[in-house]
Structures are given as structure tokens and as C-alpha cells.
Structure 1
Amino acid sequence: MVCLQLSNRQSGYISPVIDLAKYALIGTLVVDVKEKGWVMIVEQIGASTIATVTETGQFARFIWRSAKSSVSSVFRGKTWPLVFTQMLIIGVKSVPVIMVTGAFVGMTLAFQAYDQLAGMGLGEHIGILINLSVVSELGPVLSAVMLSGRVGGALTAELGTMHVTEQIDAISSMGTDPVRYLVAPRILACLLLTPVLIVYADLMGSFGGYAISVWFFKINSQAYWQFTAYGVTLWDVMVGLTKGFFFGAAIAAISCYKGFNCKQGAQGVGQACTEAFVVSFIAILALDFAAAIISKSLYSIFYPIRSLI
């Protein structure tokens, strides 16, 4: 065989047997690479699934501990000073941002909606569209998004820094529950103040729409408020405020969880802040969708359907 190969090389002739052997070897390597590629894909899917399930379980356990601590903290007098401190940081300092957001939302809605309504001869009905949109959807959702960026990021950064510098471990070593001491006051403050901030956003959105509609488009002031009172009911206001409780609790819980479980180093804290905002934003949209379904079902039961036009 060796002599045959040497003679073939010298003569320039390639044996079909050797050629087939090469093709067989290449085919085996290609199949092996494909099999390894599928194995790697399956391994990645499995690892991602395990990590997601583990993360979900840890978050559910954290939520359960936080809920128990928050409920028990309501009846503990020592917790309320911490809650009031967080209310100042979370609520009072967020009022200017929320008011500016609400005002611009109302003004933008007025500009966008007037031409369409005026073209149908319904320009004076613009108050219904602006205020119903702000009260039921845009006010609560945009207020929660602003809070998730401002307050949620601050909570994650603060608790993440405490986790990296082992301050949370020090609190645990002294026999104090860090969830009760650090998480519960923040959740209670967010839960109680988010609806209040939504009220500010709704009021500023309504007056922003009024300013553009009456002063710019020359809509009758009395007609603006008359149609607003006809189209916006107490039910719409209560639905928007109820959303605020769930939005606030979700923002605080997610932000505190990310801060408690962030990676080491400044990069880990920054990554935790980003993840907290993204997850909070998705949670806000999901909760808003669920609230829309539930409120529509309940409204059709308790109230008759009527036209806003």
C-alpha cells in the first residue's frame, strides 16, 4: 500500500480509494461538529431554563419575606420613623418630576387630538379624551415609569452598595432581620405614596390639556370641564389610583431584590440598577394590562355601558 501511494504521488494519479477515505473523514467531522452544535444549543437552553426557574424561586421567596415583614411592620411603632424617612426621599422629592411629566402628557394629548376631533365637529369634547386617557392609563403608567427610573435606581444602588460593602451581613450578624429593617420601610413608602404622586400627575395632565385647549385652540372653558365631568367617572379615578398601589409595591420589591442580590464591585451595582429598571418597566406594563382586563370586566357588571360622545 505504501509503495502504491508513493507510485501514485510520483505519477500524479490519485487513487479512488484514498479519495473516498478523505471524503468519509470530512463527512464524519461535519456530522460531529453538527452534533456538538446541537448539544451546545440544548445545554444553553437547559442552563437558561434552570437559571430562570432558580431566579424566579428566589424572587418569590424574597417577596414572601418582604410581604410578611411589611404587614408586621405596620403594627410596629419603631418601623414608622424609617417609613417616614423613605417617604421623604421617595415621595416628596419626586413631586416636581411627576408634575412636569403629567403637564407635558396633557399638553401633548391636546395637540395630537384636537385636529381629529375638530374635523368631526367634536372639538369641545377634547376634555373627555385628555382626562380619561390621563386618569385611567397615562398618568398611572408614566408616573410609575418615572418612579422606577428615579426611585428604583436609587433603591437598587443604595442596597447594592450595602451588599457589596457587607453592611447587610453586619446587620444580620447583630440579630436584626435586614428585610424587616431595610426592605419593609421602602416597600411601604412606595406603596403608600405612588397613588399620591399619580394624583399630582393627573391634576397636572388635566390642567396642561386645559391650557392648550382653551388658550391655544380657543375651546370654551365651561365645555371643557363639562364634558370632562361627563366622561370621567369616579370609577376611572379609583382604577388609576388602585394601579398605583400595585405599581409602587412592584417597583420597590424588584429594586430591593436586585440590590440585595447584586454582583460584587461597582460594575455589579450598575448592572443591578439597569436590570431593576428593565424588570420594573416590564412588570408595570404587565400589571397595567391585567388591571385593564379586570377593571373592564368589573365595570361591565356594575355600570351600564354608555357612549362618551
Structure 2
Amino acid sequence: MNLFEHIGKYFMMLKFVFSKPEKGSVFWERFFTEAQNIVINSIPLIGFLSFFMGGVISLQTASNMSSPLLPEYTIGYITRQSTILEFSPTIISLIIAGKVGSNIASEIGTMRVTEQIDALEIMGVNSIGFLMLPKILATTLFFPFAIILSMLLSLIGGWLAGITSNLYSTKTYIVGLRAFWNVDQHHLYYALGKTMVFAFLITSIACYYGYNVKGGALEVGKASTNSVVAASVTILLANYILTQLVLI
């Protein structure tokens, strides 16, 4: 199957995802379960990565500030901008695509090869909507909150790394975090907006590859790998397009 056939089948799948929804009680139960499994269970990993990457960003910025023309608060400013614009929304999304995307593709792929999806369809259930809609909506709506936490922990990590290394003071770092915020605050809305796009892509692409598995356990593993690769590439392309549309 070539790329255009995959894209056509993907959009056809999305059509069925949002049609013939299950009754509210079933949907909301699955919605909050998926929010727990996909987003909340990923917070420890997100927090760990964010804290130390924030420290690395600030230390690298401080070590490369050789020009006396640059004020010291530039360290905090660059750490803030790097975190909000790219690290938290994009890099964390790529990492989550590996963790969450592979799990979703494997889960749905296993259901396909063990004929559980066929059983749902025999019972008259819209299997695509039943399995995918709660995952897609839960991730899209809750993932931005995890990214906000990632931003906060990254900035805290940057502050702690600087003061423990005696590279700058707390006051200098905070001045940098607050610098030009009146001009740049729309970057936060841009970052959260593209986070929702990335979350949608991660879950929907993983669902697509899992749902279309044919074969056995080996094919489930391949679908899991393909979903991570496809989601990662799509996130990078979407990031480029959104940056051109919004920031340029």
C-alpha cells in the first residue's frame, strides 16, 4: 500500500470515528479511563525529562554567552523561549509518540488479530468510534495540561541548575523569564494549540495502524513501530507548517 492509499484510508477512518457514537455513560467511562492511561500515567516521564532538559538548556545557554554585550538575564529569556516554543510541545510530543503511540497500536492491533474487533462489529457496535474516539478526545484535551506542567518543571530545572552551579542568581533568572513577556505571551497559546494538534496526530495515527493490522503477533509489532515512525514524521511536518502559518 502506497502513501496516498494510507492517507485516504486514514481520513476515511476519521469519518467513522466521529459517527454513530456510543451512549454517554459508556463513552464518558472510557474517556476518563483513557485520560488516566494515556496522559496521567505519562506525567512522571514528562516531568523527569522536562526538569533535567530545562537544566541542560540553561547551562548550555550560560556556557555560550561569551559576548559582554548580552545581558545576564538572556539566560532566563532563552530558556523560557526554548521551552515554550519547541522543547515542551514538540520534543515531549515526539517522546510521547514513542511511548503512547506504540501502546495504542499494540492494544488495538492485538484486539484485531484476536478477533475482538470482529466481535464488536457483530454486536452492532461502531468499533472504530468505540475504540478510538475516547482515546483521541482524551489525549487531545488533556495533553496540553501535561505540557503546561512540562514547561513549569523545565523552567524550575533551569533555575536550579543555574543557582547550584553559581552561574547566575535567582533574581537574574526571574528577570529573564519575565523579559518581553507582553510581546511574547502569544507564544504560549501557539504552543498549546500545536500541542493539541500533535496529540490528535499521535493517537489517531496509532489507532489507524493498530486497527488495520493483518496477521499475527509479528504484524502487531510492525504496526506499533510504523505508528511511531509515521507519528514522529507527521509531528515534524505539522510543526513546520504551523510555525510558517502562525509565527512567520
1:262 CA drift (Å): 1.3
Aligned to 2:65: 117
C-alpha distance in structure 1 between counterparts of 2:239 and 2:13, whole Å = 23
Q: Is the counterpart of residue 138 in structure 1 residue 87 in structure 2?
A: yes
Aligned to 1:82: 30
Q: CA deviation at 1:77?
A: 4.3
Counterparts in 2 of 1:282-297, with a 5 A limit?
282-297=233-248
Q: Find the counterpart in structure 2 of residue 106 from structure 1.
A: 54
Stretches of structure 2 that go unaligned for 5 or more consecutive residues are none
- Residue identity opposite 1:80 in structure 2: W
Contact 2:18 2:129 (C-alpha < 8 Å) held by counterparts? no
- What TM-score results when the alignment is normalised by the length of structure 2? 0.93
Where do 1:1-309 residues align within 5 Å?
51-68=2-19, 76-120=24-68, 121-232=70-181, 233-297=184-248
Point out which structure has higher relative CO (alpha carbons under 8 A, 6+ apart).
2
Q: What's the CA shift for 1:68?
A: 4.2
**Structure 2 Cα separation of the partners of residues 77 and 117 of structure 1:** 57
Q: Is the 8 A contact 2:72 2:172 kept in 1?
A: no
> Deviations along 1:257-277, whole A, 9 cap, x unmatched?
000011311110000000000
Change (3 A) 1:117 1:123: farther
Cα-to-partner distance string for 1:117-159 (whole Å, 9 max, x where unaligned): 2433433320000011101111101221121111111100000
Alignment RMSD: 1.7
The letter for the 2-side match of 1:215 is T
Q: Which amino acid aligns with 2:208?
A: Y
Q: Rg larger in 1 or in 2? A: 1
- The amino acid of 2:236's aligned partner reads L
Q: Structure 1: how far apart are the matches of 2:66 and 2:173?
A: 14
The 1:84–1:128 alpha-carbon spacing in structure 2 relative to 1, beyond 3 Å, is: same
- Whole-angstrom CA distance in 2 between matches of 1:88 and 1:255: 18
Distance 2:174 2:187 in 1: 16
CA displacement 1:146-177 (0-9 Å, x = unmatched): 21111111100000000000100100000000
- Report how many aligned residue pairs link the two structures: 245
Equivalent pair of 1:124/1:220 in contact (CA under 8 Å): no
Q: What secondary structure sits across from 1:201 in the alignment? A: helix
Contact 2:43 2:146 in 1 (8 A): yes
Q: CA contact under 8 A between 1:143 and 1:197: conserved in structure 2? A: no
Shift in Å at residue 220 of structure 1? 2.1
Task: Tell me how far 1:64 sits from its aligned partner.
Answer: 2.3
TM-score (norm 1): 0.75
The Cα of 1:67 is off from its aligned counterpart by 4.0
Distance across 1 between alignment mates of 2:197 and 2:10: 17
SS at match of 2:24: coil
Residue identity opposite 1:97 in structure 2: L
Assess if the C-alpha contact under 8 Å between 1:194 and 1:247 holds in 2: no
- The Cα offsets for residues 209-267 of structure 1, whole Å up to 9 and x where unpaired, read as 11112221341212211221123432111111111110111001000000001131111
Q: SS of 2:111's equivalent?
A: helix
